[in-house]
Amino acid sequence: MIISGAAVVTSLDPVHITRDDVHVKDGRIAAEGGGERHDCSGCLVVPGNVCAHTHLYSALARGMPYDLEPPEDFLQILQRVWWRLDRALDEDSVRASALVGGMEALLSGTTTLVDHHASPNAIDGSLDVLAAAFGEVGIRSVLCYEVTDRDGPERADAGVEENRGFLRRVAEGRWPLARGMVGAHASFTLSDEALAACVALADEARAGIHVHLAEDQADEADAEARFGLRAAHRLSEAGVLTDASLAAHAVHLTRAEAELLRESGVTVAHNPRSNMNNAVGRAPLAWLGPRLALGTDGIGADMFEESRAAFFRLREDGLDTPAGWPLTALTEGSALAGRLFDEPALGRIEVGAPADLVVLDYAAPTPLTDHSLASHWIFGLSAASVRDVLVGGELVVHDRKLTRVDSDELVLEAREESRRLWERLERIGPHPFSPSGTPAIAGGT
Ligand SMILES: [Zn+2]
């Protein structure tokens, strides 16, 4: 295929725009290729976006009825919303969530999802269900199962085994568009034993660990009460924080914890919209190192929107954040995906790189240059401009429609599945788990 007529952003950081044709051959950007000409006159072509932290299991939660008392803090949000929803999931709802979430991601220009999955009553094989669904719509994914002790030691073991089996199947080449990490929930729901099992598996499979860190003060309070350590120090001592690992949130860090993260080379996924929505506070971004990527934490997968939220949230505090800041963070997300897929050029449109790219139908009302792109990204571009999407050289969105599946059908199925999921959810009470350093709650099931 030859993509012709467009302004092509070959790299987001540093920004570089060319007007040359893009040749795609055997899934990659090529110097010469021939084949069908794909007319993109007047369009802007950008590298596919990477969402560095999400939970597709929450895709069917939108608008879910809620009969309990409204949560008053982050822990209650988990106990009364997410830890009920995850227990209501079965294989069909996991599949429907992945299909509809994968669809929305592609239609908003996201070509890779880094997912953190939990379905405590349907653990075995759940990552294969996700990989198959994402493969069906044609999106790249990095998957892991959330190991936690909050649902008992058997489920913690089953979570470790789910990660182990999936990592093995990925290594065997079963899922070309998927890679695996070892999923760990967060320090405050993990025993030393479960954490050690995650680290042992990560060592054995040469994988990174995807974990939540200091999203809320409760994570830190628990680490201090149980171990006399800050959460990052506990994870570091256990061997979780390596340059292959990914830590989501990092909101309540001390300066020393931030230093520790920076030294370890761990990638931090910053999720500004989720943090605002949960009223957990602001990550100390200025203290963190260069490995800082953006995630949505399950609030869709629209990285244009997340970039904008991240930017405006920073600007509210001061004018020293340049418009290019989100592009740097998005590039870091691509670098993370590039390491996981062993594709160092992922996220750039250059010869040899996997052809993951997005065609935006964007009539720039002012000149589009290397210098101005960052401002167009913040003040002009949006997912509404996404016209076509290629993943691994395949046109998976063409003229705003998915090419591999019938999206209307998929949406109807998701709606049916959400009805069933919401019914099951009604019968599940608040989760009884409480970390140390917080009062226990009564009346869980
Ligand atoms: Zn999360």
Say how many Å lie between the CA of residue 30 and the centre of ligand 1: 37
Say how many Å lie between the CA of residue 297 and the centre of ligand 1: 5
* Cβ 181 vs Cβ 207: under 8 Å: yes
* Sign for the pseudo-dihedral over CA of 113, 119, 120, 124: negative
- What percent of the chain stands above pLDDT 90? 96
Q: What is the dihedral of CA 112, 59, 185, 133, to 10 degrees?
A: -50
* Six-digit token string for 336: 């993370």
* Cβ 252 vs Cβ 223: under 8 Å: no
Question: What is the DSSP secondary structure assignment for residue 292, as one 8-state letter?
Answer: E
Say how many Å lie between the CA of residue 184 and the centre of ligand 1: 11
Q: How many angstroms separate the CA atoms of 315 and 120, rounded? A: 40
- What percent of the chain stands above pLDDT 70? 98
Nearest CA-CA partner of 291 in 255, 236, 245, 323: 245
* Cβ 321 vs Cβ 71: under 8 Å: no
Say how many Å lie between the CA of residue 180 and the centre of ligand 1: 16
Residue with structure tokens 């065997």?
172
Say how many Å lie between the CA of residue 193 and the centre of ligand 1: 22
Classify residue 412 by burial, with Cβ atoms within 10 Å: 0-12, 13-18, 19+.
Answer: exposed
Show the CA angle centred on residue 332, arms to residues 27 and 242, nearest 5°: 105
Say how many Å lie between the CA of residue 116 and the centre of ligand 1: 7
Classify residue 169 by burial, with Cβ atoms within 10 Å: 0-12, 13-18, 19+.
Answer: middle
Say how many Å lie between the CA of residue 211 and the centre of ligand 1: 8
Q: Is 348 left (phi over 0), alpha (psi -120 to 50) or beta?
A: beta
Task: Give the CA distances from residue 10 to residues 6, 104, 152, 316, 436, in Å, rounded to whole numbers and listed in that order.
Answer: 12, 24, 48, 30, 49
Say how many Å lie between the CA of residue 146 and the centre of ligand 1: 10
Task: Give the CA distances from residue 312 to residues 107, 179, 294, 321, in Å, rounded to whole numbers and listed in that order.
Answer: 24, 33, 14, 9
In the predicted model, is pLDDT for residue 437 greater than 80?
no
Say how many Å lie between the CA of residue 172 and the centre of ligand 1: 28
Say how many Å lie between the CA of residue 83 and the centre of ligand 1: 12
Say how many Å lie between the CA of residue 115 and the centre of ligand 1: 9
Q: How many angstroms separate the CA atoms of 102 and 97, rounded? A: 8
Q: What is the pLDDT of residues 382-401, one digit of tens each?
A: 999 999 999 999 999 999 99
In the predicted model, is pLDDT for residue 158 greater than 80?
yes
Classify residue 428 by burial, with Cβ atoms within 10 Å: 0-12, 13-18, 19+.
Answer: middle
Average pLDDT over residues 95-123: 98
Average pLDDT over residues 79-88: 96
Nearest CA-CA partner of 203 in 242, 148, 166, 236: 242
- The pLDDT of residue 79 is 95
Q: How many C-beta neighbours within 10 Å does residue 306 have?
A: 29
Give the H or E element holding residue 26: none
Q: How many angstroms separate the CA atoms of 51 and 294, rounded? A: 6
Distance of CA 328 to the CA centre of its chain: 17
In the predicted model, is pLDDT for residue 445 greater than 80?
no
Say how many Å lie between the CA of residue 199 and the centre of ligand 1: 19
Asked which of 66-80, 316-330, 427-441 is least confident by mean pLDDT, the reply is 427-441
State the pLDDT confidence band at 313, using cuts at 50, 70 and 90: very high
Say how many Å lie between the CA of residue 215 and the centre of ligand 1: 9
* Six-digit token string for 401: 């429609």
Say how many Å lie between the CA of residue 372 and the centre of ligand 1: 33
Say how many Å lie between the CA of residue 280 and the centre of ligand 1: 13
Three-class HEC string of 81-146? HHHHHHHHCCHHHHHHHHHHHHHHHHHCCEEEEEECECCCCCCCCHHHHHHHHHHHHCCEEEECEE
Enumerate residues 6+ apart whose C-beta is below 8 A from 236.
260, 264
- The pLDDT of residue 443 is 41
Say how many Å lie between the CA of residue 5 and the centre of ligand 1: 40
Say how many Å lie between the CA of residue 299 and the centre of ligand 1: 10
Asked which of 178-192, 256-270, 385-399, 427-441 is least confident by mean pLDDT, the reply is 427-441
Task: Give the CA distances from residue 86 to residues 77, 157, 192, 361, in Å, rounded to whole numbers and listed in that order.
Answer: 13, 17, 23, 38
Average pLDDT over residues 159-183: 98
Say how many Å lie between the CA of residue 298 and the centre of ligand 1: 7
Say how many Å lie between the CA of residue 55 and the centre of ligand 1: 6
Beta strand pairing call for 2-4 and 22-25: antiparallel
Say how many Å lie between the CA of residue 13 and the centre of ligand 1: 26
- The pLDDT of residue 438 is 66
Q: How many angstroms separate the CA atoms of 199 and 205, rounded? A: 10
Maximum Cα–Cα distance for the chain, whole Å? 67
Q: How many angstroms separate the CA atoms of 114 and 51, rounded? A: 6
Say how many Å lie between the CA of residue 296 and the centre of ligand 1: 8
Question: What is the DSSP secondary structure assignment for residue 375, as one 8-state letter?
Answer: H
pTM for the model: 0.97
Say how many Å lie between the CA of residue 401 and the centre of ligand 1: 29
Say how many Å lie between the CA of residue 191 and the centre of ligand 1: 19
In the predicted model, is pLDDT for residue 289 greater than 70?
yes
Average pLDDT over residues 26-45: 93
Beta-sheet strand order (sheet of 182-186): 146-147, 182-186, 209-213, 246-249, 267-270, 292-294
